[in-house]
Amino acid sequence: MSSVALSLTEPDTTRLLRETVAAVCKPYGHEYFVRQCRERQNPRELWQALGEAGLLGVAIPEEHGGGGGGIADLAVVTEEAAASGVPLMLLALSPAVCAATLVAHGSEEQKQRWLPGLASGESVMAFAITEPDAGSNSHNIATTAVRTDDGWVLRGQKYYVSHVDNAQAILVVARVVADDDTAGLSLFVVDVDAPGLTRAEIEVEMVSPERQFTLWFDDVRIPADAVVGRPGGGLAVLFTGLNPERIGSAALLTGIARYALGKAARYATQRQVWGVPIGAHQAVAHPLARAAVQTELARLMTAKAAALYDAGLDAAEAANMAKFAASEAASAALDAAIQTHGGNGMATEYGLATLLALVRLFRIAPVSTEMVLNHIARRTLGLPKSY
């Protein structure tokens, strides 16, 4: 694993950033989040508020309308929003995957076109990589891009693409079909209303504003300058965005864990049975304490992964470890919090059960627990490849 200096104490600027995010999110909270989800709305008011406060663009360069910080700053924004009861998966996608890819590999025209809007929140970009038959195997992506005299033609299908209904464009992973060194995986910016692009919503049992879609690309013609980076740039370009996605996912999960543990600790202190607070009983206290330990360890690994990425070092191993640790911590924290509340843990008004499916999702996406463990087994332990 690459090494990088990592401070275990946060500077004043980071503490101020956390306070700012919490202040922006406070007027909204979990009830607003659930209401927007139930009404099949996107939390646009909160998104605009985060943009106006400069929080969506913290990892975008100043010359393109951002704050000039790094993925570590965006992780703080993502975590604190979730800790305030508004876990926005979009933070791990549009300003993370898409913006990071454009910052690193986009043309100057692409940066000027998209980054200021992504920083302000006026623009949203979706990310399309998953396919029905590719699963976790990015090498098996079947969506193709064929060069024409004036651009590209995309053909194929994408699956489980989030918030297409809330986006102006989609960053699409496709395979360039060619007989030269441009063959291979490439990324393309595609307008959501491009002719030949159709979509259908996938109904899922989850309280979330990010709806899921299947996309079909039927001879979708896009301009020559829609490609991001060198055609056939491959996994090196792709993981410029995928590692921030894992880091952002981990930050989201640790924020949810903090939110759940905070509610559980308050309830266990106030709720009395037989004359004592239920939190005085070890059967209640220990699962919460254990989850608190897991959460802090996941936060540390998330910070390390972000520091590696911002230093320009290989963050893949740490990002995968952070995502794994955070999904385990959030699952433990939410489960312990619900158990602490007893029957109230399943009541909507207590704001815990509404997060069950969302937290469970992150053991599947954006990369499954099993694939993370495969990566760590090979990368960290040097074990033989199992697939």
262-315 pLDDT per residue, tens: 999 999 999 999 999 999 999 999 999 999 999 999 999 999 999 999 999 999
How many Å separate Cα 187 from the centre of its chain? 18
Strands (E) in the chain, as ranges, are 125-128, 144-147, 151-162, 169-177, 184-191, 197-202, 212-223, 227-228, 272-273, 276-277
CB 339 within 8 A of CB 356: no
Enumerate the domain spans of the chain.
12-124, 127-228, 235-379
**Distance separating alpha carbons of residues 215 and 160, to the nearest angstrom:** 8
CATH superfamily for domain 12-124: Acyl-CoA dehydrogenase/oxidase, N-terminal domain (1.10.540.10)
Q: How many CB atoms lie within 10 A of CB 122?
A: 14
The DSSP call for residue 95 is I
Q: Which CATH number fits domain 235-379: 2.20.25.90, 1.20.140.10, 3.10.105.10, 1.10.287.3510?
A: 1.20.140.10
Within 8 A by CB and 6+ apart from 181, the residues are 232
Q: What is the CATH number of domain 127-228?
A: 2.40.110.10
This model's pTM is above 0.85? yes
The DSSP call for residue 132 is T
Closest CA to 79 of 271, 295, 368, 284: 295
pLDDT tens, N- to C-terminus, the chain (387 residues)? 455 766 778 999 999 999 999 999 999 999 999 999 999 999 999 999 999 999 999 999 999 999 999 999 999 999 999 999 999 999 999 999 999 999 999 999 999 999 999 999 999 999 999 999 876 677 789 999 999 999 999 999 999 999 999 999 999 999 999 988 889 999 999 999 999 999 999 999 999 999 999 999 999 999 999 999 999 988 888 999 999 999 999 999 999 999 999 999 999 999 999 999 999 999 999 999 999 999 999 999 999 999 999 999 999 999 999 999 999 999 999 999 999 999 999 999 999 999 999 999 999 999 999 999 999 999 999 999 988
pLDDT in tens, 179-231: 888 899 999 999 999 999 999 999 999 999 999 999 999 999 999 999 999 99
φ/ψ of 144, rounded to 5, equals -115, 155
Radius of gyration, CA atoms only, the chain: 21
Within 8 A by CB and 6+ apart from 104, the residues are 237, 240
**Distance separating alpha carbons of residues 79 and 251, to the nearest angstrom:** 5
- DSSP symbols for 193-250: T-TTEEEEEEP-S---S--EEEEEEEEEEEEGGGEESSTT-THHHHHHHHHHHHHHHH
